[in-house]
Amino acid sequence: MSLKILTVDDSKTIRMIVARAFQPFDCEIAEAANGVEGLAAAAREKPDLIILDLIMPLMDGVEMLAKLKSDPVLKSIPVIMLTAEAGRENVLKIAKLGVRDYMVKPFKEDALLEKAGRVLNLQVKAKEKKVKTLDDPALILIVDDKPAIIQQITEGISGTPWKVVGKAAGAEAMAEAKSSSPDVIVISLSLPNEEGFNLLQQFRSNPVTRGIPIFGMCVKTDLDLQARAEKSGFAGVITKPIDMESLKTKFIRVMELDVSTKYFSLDGEIQVLTLPEKITDQVTAAVEHYLQLKLNGMVDSGMNKFIMDLSQVVQVEPSLVKMIASTIQKRQILAIKIRIVGSPALKEQFKSFKETYEIKIEPSVAEAKKAFQPAKAS
Amino acid sequence: MAASLDVKLSDFVPRAIIRVFSTMMSLKLEALDSPSDANLQGERVVGSVGFAGAATGMVYFQVTDVFARIMTASMLGRKLQDINGADEVNDAIGELSNMIGGNLKSCLSDSGFPCALSIPSITRGSSFNIQTRNGAWCERFAFQYQEHHVLVEISVRVNSTEGGING
């Protein structure tokens, strides 16, 4: 559910700046130009937060706040004062009024979001989180003072549309993250002075960067550091030496990428599943995740032909056998015709398993397509 | 006007104005040594904010209409051609005047001159002559951003028992 924020300021410019600051978040912004309008809007909108100017015509911020606090329905609404006056006396006066926080103009939108983020659980708008696939670009921010590691990761993901930006220190990384909103952040836990852990807290306390998945990175043998990182709220730990396949799988998982395009494709009216040479646990998990959705989608759209192309697979693993058995079972329920493509060597390996002992293997996709056609009467 | 309590405007006013520009508009102002309104040619937009109390006076914030539009566009994060009419510009200049006045008021209050701030107002025109009342201290500060100039005039009068203002 959207949060409601009420900005009360006699300057339309400031109201527009406030609205712009919250634009990326799932918030509705209500506006009022003075205390009188502000009280009416507060009663009408029941906002989750009020950002209140001090000096305004008709009714100033102090009077509006006093009336707000004396109203049993409205008194619990948190208020952040946004004022051009920062004198000691003024700050003390504001503090006594029971405001949650205050900001002095001039102000940066980031700072306002940070203060609002302490009061509200700001969430990035759902429409901003469109489902991405493996073909979509993504930005990976690596925070490490060792250029060789940044280079290694850059080269390791070179076959993807992802881009790596490397920063050696926390301040630069924070500035980069605020301006470019990376999809994933990796922080070296060997940065001096606990900077890796401190940086995680900074990212987590800023509403703009709060939702970005962040990995810690350390040497494989440093188990204590890995355990500490897991407890500190990192999305996971990447260990060095870096296994690039595992790294990519972790990135795919936290970015919630739709990897179905990697395995599933359409050939006319036929749904094709193409499995890679090596069937790892990650591949099995990804394919099984999408298999049911694809099969349901086929039935929904009136399709009934499915090819499992295993021609690249070299070694039959029990997980593959299980997947085939499960697919054949679903086929019977959903009335889908299945053809399996593989090499003669694969066919031999399938004979070692009870579930696939009698399975029919087509030598190519073309033959599999032909096999869907009804046999001609002789 | 007594001078037992020093409030040196030149110590904080330029710093405060440069900070307002950099924070709200990401514009880097340079302070100039010799303030003059000779550089403000054509139509001028003047934001003014008054303060009253132990210290009484006015802050006048003057820029050309051209620069006022650039500043408004920067504040709102919009293109210059998307700034519609004088109302948007007046509001932005009024708010900037309010921020400059608020900074000054905070400094005066912290120095023992509590005062209250007025709502900003805007004057437009091409020929101005701002004169201070007898007994008021008046100081001018000039700034430049590229070819654009900014002139800030501050007049302050304090109760003789309270202290004084030094330039």
With an 8 Å Cβ cutoff, are B102 and A108 in contact? Answer: no
C-alpha to C-alpha distances, A45 to A6, A36, A75, nearest whole angstrom: 8, 14, 14
Residues 6+ apart with CB under 8 A from A273: A263, A264, A287, A291, A294, A306, A307, A308, A309
Structural domain harbouring A266: 260-372
Query: Looking at this predicted complex, what is its ipTM?
Result: 0.88
Domain count across chain A: 3
Residues 6+ apart with CB under 8 A from A16: B76
CA distance B42 to chain A (A): 25
Alpha carbon A217 to chain centroid distance? 19
Which residue, among A109, A117, A171, A14, has the nearest Cα to B23 in the 3D structure? A109
Considering chain B, what percentage of its residues have pLDDT values greater than 70?
Answer: 88
Residues 6+ apart with CB under 8 A from A56: A8, A9, A10, A33, A34, A35, B119
C-alpha to C-alpha distances, B126 to A146, A354, B45, B94, nearest whole angstrom: 59, 95, 9, 18
Is A154 part of a structural domain of the chain?
yes
Is A378 part of a structural domain of the chain?
no
pLDDT tens by residue, B142-161: 999 999 999 999 998 876 65
Q: Give the separation between CA B120 and CA B138, rounded to whole angstroms.
A: 19
Is A127 part of a structural domain of the chain?
no
Across the range A191-212, mean pLDDT stands at 88
Supply the pLDDT for residue B59.
Answer: 94
Q: Give the separation between CA A52 and CA A10, rounded to whole angstroms.
A: 10
Partner residue facing B109 (CB), from A57, A89, A107: A89
Of A224, A239, A254, the domain-final residue? A254
Q: How would you label B13-37 residue by residue, b for 16+ Cβ within 10 Å and e otherwise? A: bbebbbbbbeebbebebebbeebeb
CB contact residues (below 8 A), chain B span 60-79, against chain A:
72, 75-77
Q: Containing H/E element for B101?
A: helix B85-110
| Neighboring chain B residues of A12 at a CB cutoff of 8 Å | 88, 91
Of A119, A150, A167, the domain-final residue? A119
With an 8 Å Cβ cutoff, are A17 and B75 in contact? Answer: yes
Supply the pLDDT for residue A143.
Answer: 96
Supply the pLDDT for residue B80.
Answer: 87
Is A163 part of a structural domain of the chain?
yes
Count A/B contacts: CB-CB distance under 8 Å. Answer: 70
pTM above 0.95, yes or no: no
Binning pLDDT at 50, 70 and 90, where does residue A51 land?
very high
Is A133 part of a structural domain of the chain?
no
| Unique residue bearing structure tokens 């493509």 | A341
Kindly state the tokens that stand for A14. Answer: 């400031």
- Single-letter amino acid, residue A261: T
**B90 CB within 8 Å of a chain A CB:** no
Binning pLDDT at 50, 70 and 90, where does residue A132 land?
confident
Question: pLDDT higher for A199 or A332?
Answer: A199
| Neighboring chain B residues of A11 at a CB cutoff of 8 Å | 91-92, 94-95, 98
C-alpha to C-alpha distances, A225 to A29, A192, A194, nearest whole angstrom: 43, 14, 11
Is the predicted pLDDT of residue A5 greater than 90, yes or no? yes
Q: Are residues A107 and A180 in the same domain?
A: no
Q: Are residues A145 and A38 in the same domain?
A: no
Considering chain B, what percentage of its residues have pLDDT values greater than 90?
Answer: 47
Q: Are residues A250 and A314 in the same domain?
A: no
Q: Are residues A77 and A27 in the same domain?
A: yes
Q: Are residues A225 and A291 in the same domain?
A: no
**Of the candidate ranges A6-15, A232-241, B1-10, B66-75, the one whose mean pLDDT is the lowest:** B1-10
Residues 6+ apart with CB under 8 A from A240: A149, A217, A218, A219, A220
Q: Are residues A145 and A93 in the same domain?
A: no
Strand partners, A5: A29, A49
Across the range A277-288, mean pLDDT stands at 82
Q: Are residues A264 and A368 in the same domain?
A: yes
Site from A10, A11, A15 to mutate, B interface, most B CB atoms within 10 angstroms: A11
Considering chain A, what percentage of its residues have pLDDT values greater than 70?
Answer: 97
Q: What is the CA radius of gyration of chain B?
A: 16
Q: Are residues A303 and A220 in the same domain?
A: no
| Neighboring chain B residues of A20 at a CB cutoff of 8 Å | 76-77
With an 8 Å Cβ cutoff, are A86 and B101 in contact? Answer: no
Supply the pLDDT for residue B4.
Answer: 39
With an 8 Å Cβ cutoff, are A13 and B95 in contact? Answer: yes
pLDDT tens by residue, B29-39: 999 987 777 77
**A55 CB within 8 Å of a chain B CB:** yes
Question: Helices (DSSP H) in A211-256: which residue ranges?
Answer: 223-232, 244-254
Is A129 part of a structural domain of the chain?
no
pLDDT tens by residue, A80-130: 999 888 777 777 777 788 888 889 899 988 889 989 988 888 887 765 556
Is the predicted pLDDT of residue A79 greater than 90, yes or no? yes
CA distance B158 to chain A (A): 18
Query: Which CATH number fits the domain that encloses residue A337?
Result: 3.30.750.24
Of A227, A254, A281, the domain-final residue? A254
Q: In whole numbers, what is the pLDDT of chain B averaged over residues?
A: 85
Q: Are residues A30 and A109 in the same domain?
A: yes
Q: Are residues A236 and A280 in the same domain?
A: no
Residue pair A6/A38 in contact by the 8 Å Cβ criterion: yes
| Neighboring chain A residues of B19 at a CB cutoff of 8 Å | 106
Q: Are residues A235 and A194 in the same domain?
A: yes
Q: Are residues A279 and A320 in the same domain?
A: yes
Partner residue facing A10 (CB), from B20, B92, B119: B119
CA distance A267 to chain B (A): 47
Closest chain B residue to the Cα of A18, Cα to Cα: B76
Is A131 part of a structural domain of the chain?
no
Is A266 part of a structural domain of the chain?
yes
Binning pLDDT at 50, 70 and 90, where does residue B2 land?
very low
- Single-letter amino acid, residue A220: K
Query: Which CATH number fits the domain that encloses residue A115?
Result: 3.40.50.2300
